[in-house]
Amino acid sequence: METNYETIVIGGGVVGSGIAYHLSERYKEGVLVLDKKYPMSGTSGSTQAWVWVHNKTPSWYAEFNMYSAELYPYLSKKIGDVEYKRTGGLSPFFNESDREKALKLAESYRKIGIKIKVLSREEVLEKEPYMNPEVAGATYSSIDGNVNPFRLIDMYMRAAKRNGVRYSTYNKVTEIKKQDGKYSVVSDKGAFECKNLILAGGTWSREIGDMLGVKIPVNQLRGQILVSEPLKPFLNFTISGLRQANNGEVLMGYSMEEAGFNRATTLDVIQETANMAVRYVPGLRKAKIVRAFSGIRAMPEDGFPILGKVPGHENLYAAATHSGVTLSPLIGTLITELIMDGETSIPIDRYSLSRFG
């Protein structure tokens, strides 16, 4: 296998593969993606994969997510059917006292041009007839949706490979050295050299950064999800907490636990998730659950993406974030611009690693 590349991406998940694909559109120099296992074996393969904008705060962060959601229809035209659906998103609330908060959220978004409606009980039930009639209201945005994460990453990989990107999988990076202005990346399958190095290790970002003495403060946050048998199509929207996939399965869950890399599913959280699902959509009571799964989210210390050049290290880039599915088309586009043009079409200074001091 060729050992010299212009650019190496460490991590082939939704962020790393998104970057590799977008690079390959413009860039004909060699690109190699290294993955310790096979893409999707970590976070990117254990997600409900909402493409989600509304409820993210502050509003400038919602705006960043919106730009990425706007790229999805175009992306699916370029790489193939990833089952992206812009369903619109509903976040229900059950206490009338939450309406004030919802209205304030809508107001903060209006200033940046994202429309959120705060719906009455009747409006929620008109949009989503299977929602619990005890609902008090919901916030609604038309920009939200979901995607099939497996199709998304598979299509990113296929398109990138067609454009000449190489993948080396089941190949863990063990050491990174800087010598003679180049990076030498030592892996289980040998050493590779490159000019540009992109760290897209997701939940493992800290460990990869350590190899270069760079602190990338990303923690782990576990989420547990239940999957139903395929049901007739009956949910119209991506509801924050559950969504129906193209094949009729309903995915349910919105849990957060600090459990390191432990990917166990636990009865207490499964029961809470079941309680949430029947509270939102009582008709699911009789639906059969075929599986529970859990995934480990990558969560930067302050919750916001870490993107761009690594200060003090020439030709070194970092991309580590929560909401990788939502953000991957935008992150791929911006990192490509940074490498090829030296600047990005929208500012990303606030996402620099330098903010952690």
Question: Applying CB under 8 A, does 66 fall inside the site for another protein?
Answer: no
**For residue 85, which phi and psi values (nearest 5 degrees)?**
-130, 120
* Between 37 and 78, CB nearer to another protein: 37
* Between 38 and 74, CB nearer to another protein: 38
- CA–CA distance, 12 with 18 (Å, rounded to integer): 8
* Between 184 and 236, CB nearer to another protein: 236
- CA–CA distance, 39 with 44 (Å, rounded to integer): 8
The per-residue b/e assignment along 83-93, b for 16 or more CB within 10 angstroms, e otherwise, is: bbbbbbbbbbb
Site string for another protein, 117-156 (x = CB under 8 A): ----------------------x----------x---x--
Q: Where does this chain touch another protein (CB under 8 A) — which range of 39-47, 70-78, 184-192, 316-324?
A: 39-47
Among 40, 69, 306, 353, the residue binding another protein under the rule CB under 8 A is: 40
Question: Applying CB under 8 A, does 112 fall inside the site for another protein?
Answer: no
One-letter amino acid identity for 299? M
Tell me the Ramachandran region of residue 76: left when phi exceeds 0, alpha when psi lies from -120 to 50, beta otherwise.
Answer: alpha
Parallel/antiparallel/unpaired status of strands 4-10 and 31-34: parallel
Total residues at interface with another protein (CB under 8 A): 60
Q: Residue 152 in contact with residue 327, Cβ under 8 Å?
A: no
Give, as ranges, the residues between 236 and 265 that touch another protein (CB under 8 A): 240-241, 253-257, 265
- CA–CA distance, 97 with 3 (Å, rounded to integer): 61
- CA–CA distance, 26 with 78 (Å, rounded to integer): 13
Question: Applying CB under 8 A, does 267 fall inside the site for another protein?
Answer: yes
* Between 104 and 177, CB nearer to another protein: 104
Q: Where does this chain touch another protein (CB under 8 A) — which range of 64-72, 197-205, 266-274, 329-337?
A: 266-274
Among 70, 86, 278, 337, the residue binding another protein under the rule CB under 8 A is: 278
Q: Where does this chain touch another protein (CB under 8 A) — which range of 174-182, 193-201, 224-232, 320-328?
A: 224-232
- CA–CA distance, 237 with 85 (Å, rounded to integer): 10
- Burial class of residue 298, CB neighbours in 10 A (0-12, 13-18, 19+): buried
Site string for another protein, 292-311 (x = CB under 8 A): xx------------------
Question: Applying CB under 8 A, does 101 fall inside the site for another protein?
Answer: yes
Question: Applying CB under 8 A, does 269 fall inside the site for another protein?
Answer: yes
CB atoms within 10 A of CB 227: 17
- The position carrying tokens 């590799």 is 20
CB atoms within 10 A of CB 217: 15
The distance of closest approach from Cβ of residue 120 to another protein in the complex, given in angstroms and rounded to an integer, is 16
| Cα 84 to chain centroid, rounded | 14
Q: Give contact residues for another protein (rule: CB under 8 A).
A: 38, 40-41, 45, 55, 57-59, 91-93, 98, 101-102, 104-105, 107-108, 139, 150, 154, 157, 167, 169-170, 224, 226, 228-229, 240-241, 253-257, 265, 267-279, 284-293
